[in-house]
A and B are shown apart, each in its own frame.
Chain A
Amino acid sequence: MEVLYDRLSRRAFGLAYRIVGDGPAAEDVVQEAFLSLWRSAERIDTARGKLQSYVLTIVHRRAIDALRSRNGLAERQLPEYAENIGSGTDFTERVVSDVDGEVVREALNELPEDQRQVVDMAYYQGLTHVEIAEKLTLPLGTVKSRMRLALDKMRGTLGAGGGP
């Protein structure tokens, strides 16, 4: 676990900090995430070899829980670590396992502002499309289509861009 921590803690803490926005809360998230990883070690399918993605998924979920609870929002389900991620194409393998943060940041920055905004609110603030539509006073359909357009565009950027 120590090796694992040394290897992944900067990314884990960076993600938690990005979501919860302060150091002490981010520390709690990271500690709980690694503890739960340690507790569930026997259930992890290591053969899939997507440990970083797995760790960051736990960190993301716990950070969103902490943020929503602090903001007085109800707890909600986030998708489980998806079975189909990384199981198919070279593209998913690369994005999930080897992706460079800088490349994703660029792909995110290339999005039109209205698309980047809904991605940010969904992923880093853990809001549902219904909550986003309320906050932005937009029709639900608009929020949903912006999300899909944003992911399609990022998929194109990441697929066409660098990487091995």
Chain B
Amino acid sequence: MNCDEFEEISGAYALGALTDDELIAANDHLASCDQHHEMGELQAVAAGLAAAAPERAPPPALKSRLMDAIRAESSSEASEPAFTTEAPSRGFLHAIRGLFARPAFGGYALSGALAIVIAALAVWNVTLQSSEDEVSGEVVSQLSGQSSGEFIVLKNHDLALLEIDDLPPLDSSQVYQLWAITDGQPASLGAFSKQSPGNVRTAIPFDPAGVDSIAITVEPAPGSQQPTSDPVVTGDL
């Protein structure tokens, strides 16, 4: 496909109206050609068509059915080993599951932990989507040290979001452990393994009352009762 041929089908492309074969050819062309700058805007217009459908309230029963289905899936996943190793990128849900799967850190029953995960996921998404509206009571602590990041406390939700850039990977014998420091006394907020490079993003239940600062230490897996090394990352609240 050349540029002229692409232009001819560009409207159909943006509207998702190409045949499967044409779609493949069009994507191939776009991947190797930077001449079609307007496509992003045309696709945005097409995506905007979703908003043109009149809003309509679903029946309340739909919400209960959905939540039941999610709970059913959560409990069937409870047997999955959480917080283990190998997978190169653990992903957001795994990271959270890892934090709460082991009673040693907080003692949440798994079902409760997954409820928190679901809430956290929603809050996390909504927070990133809209920094101002639904979620208020935000306190952002800048983290610094070996890596930088943010610890965002959502007071209204008893949650915090941890985001750290480029936290160095550890071998499987070590974990990163997060501590809330109150009057000089550290209390564990959980631990996570990190065996591949990349950023950390996770959400944790967190009551900010009285907490002065946050610290992350490297601990022997699966974690320690008290920190055994100096923090690699800290932030004041």
Contact = CB atoms under 8 A, between A and B. Distances in A.
Given A76-B20, A122-B12, A99 B51 contact: yes
Contacts, number: 229
A66 to B, nearest CB: 15
A31 interface: yes
B41 A155 contact: yes
B169 interface: no
Contacts of B81: none
Interface stretch (B114-122, B215-223, B224-232): B114-122
Interface in B27-53: 38-53
Interface of B: 7-20, 23, 38-59, 62-63, 65-67, 69-70, 73, 90-94, 118-119, 121-126, 128-129, 134, 201
Contact of A10 (B47, B57, B92): B57
B44 to A, nearest CB: 4
Contact of B40 (A7, A38, A78, A87): A87
A128 B11 CA distance: 11
Contact of A17 (B45, B53, B122): B53
Interface string A52-80: 11001101100000000000000011110
Interface residues of A, number: 85
B69 A35 contact: yes
Contacts of A126: 16
A122 B54 contact: no
Given A60-B50, A119-B15, 7 more contacts: A4-B122, A41-B93, A92-B41, A95-B47, A101-B55, A129-B18, A152-B11
B72 to A, nearest CB: 10
26 contacts: A1-B66, A1-B118, A2-B122, A4-B121, A4-B125, A10-B55, A13-B58, A18-B54, A26-B58, A27-B62, A30-B66, A39-B73, A41-B121, A42-B92, A56-B51, A57-B47, A76-B19, A82-B47, A87-B40, A91-B41, A91-B44, A108-B52, A122-B17, A132-B17, A148-B42, A150-B11
